[in-house]
Amino acid sequence: MRYIFNQGGIHLAQLFFRYGAMNSGKSIEILKVAHNYEEQNKSVVILTSALDNRSGVGMIASRIHGLQREATPIAADTNVFDLVQQLDANAYCVLIDEAQFLQKHHVFECARIVDELKIPVMAFGLKNDFKNELFEGSKYLLLYADKIEEMKTICWFCAKKAIMNLRVHDDQPVYAGEQIQIGGNESYYPVCRHHYYFPPENLAEYRLSKS
């Protein structure tokens, strides 16, 4: 039996979904949680979507702190429940980065890990895409997670909270196209609702002024 310890007491294993806009510190938070467990000699299983290849498939990297760590990639046909049993059925926690890219069956398998193996699962990812539609993984995590938390960050263009992700190509905002296009800061910006619909007219000049 695995437990989550916090100031409110002891809780049984749960499925957590922590979401935020781009640059809200999701990857560094995963690395911190893993470090905290391992510092106490408690093993963790670290997973990430195979779709995210910005730092190489199976790598979790924080652009802010320059830290990175290997993780086991989750492909479309991966059974996450079976994978965790193979990697470490006695893990104290399962951590998943880029959880928005999970498919429906992956989320159900994460729930089974919690309910049957009694291992907490903490999934981190975006909630909505650049068209303000839910990712498949995020949709089902919002439905099935025991606990949902928002990781806050501020708009790239003002001091309001960022709740959307603006896709930019050749310094022009993009509102149509394929949902999944892996990029870093140069491709996506965390923005408030106003600046999603009304970004600065000359993004190139604004970007240079921020550099």
**Which residues belong to the active site?**
98
29 assigned to a ligand binding site: no
195 assigned to a ligand binding site: yes
Identify residue 62 by its one-letter amino acid code: S
67 neighbors 28 (Cβ within 8 angstroms)? yes
Instruction: In whole angstroms, give the CA distance from residue 19 to residue 75.
Output: 21
188 assigned to a ligand binding site: yes
180 assigned to a ligand binding site: yes
21 assigned to a ligand binding site: yes
104 assigned to a ligand binding site: no
Instruction: In whole angstroms, give the CA distance from residue 65 to residue 180.
Output: 25
110 assigned to a ligand binding site: no
20 assigned to a ligand binding site: yes
- Across 68-97, b (16+ Cβ under 10 Å) vs e yields ebebbbbeeebebbebbbeeeeebbbbbbb
Q: Which two tokens stand for residue 18?
A: 């922590």
Q: What are the beta bridge partners of residue 73?
A: 48
Output the known binding site. Answer: 20-27, 97-100, 155, 158, 180-183, 188, 192, 195
Positions at the binding site for Zn(2+): 155, 158, 192, 195
Annotation: binding site for ATP:
20-27, 97-100
Annotation: binding site for substrate: 180-183, 188
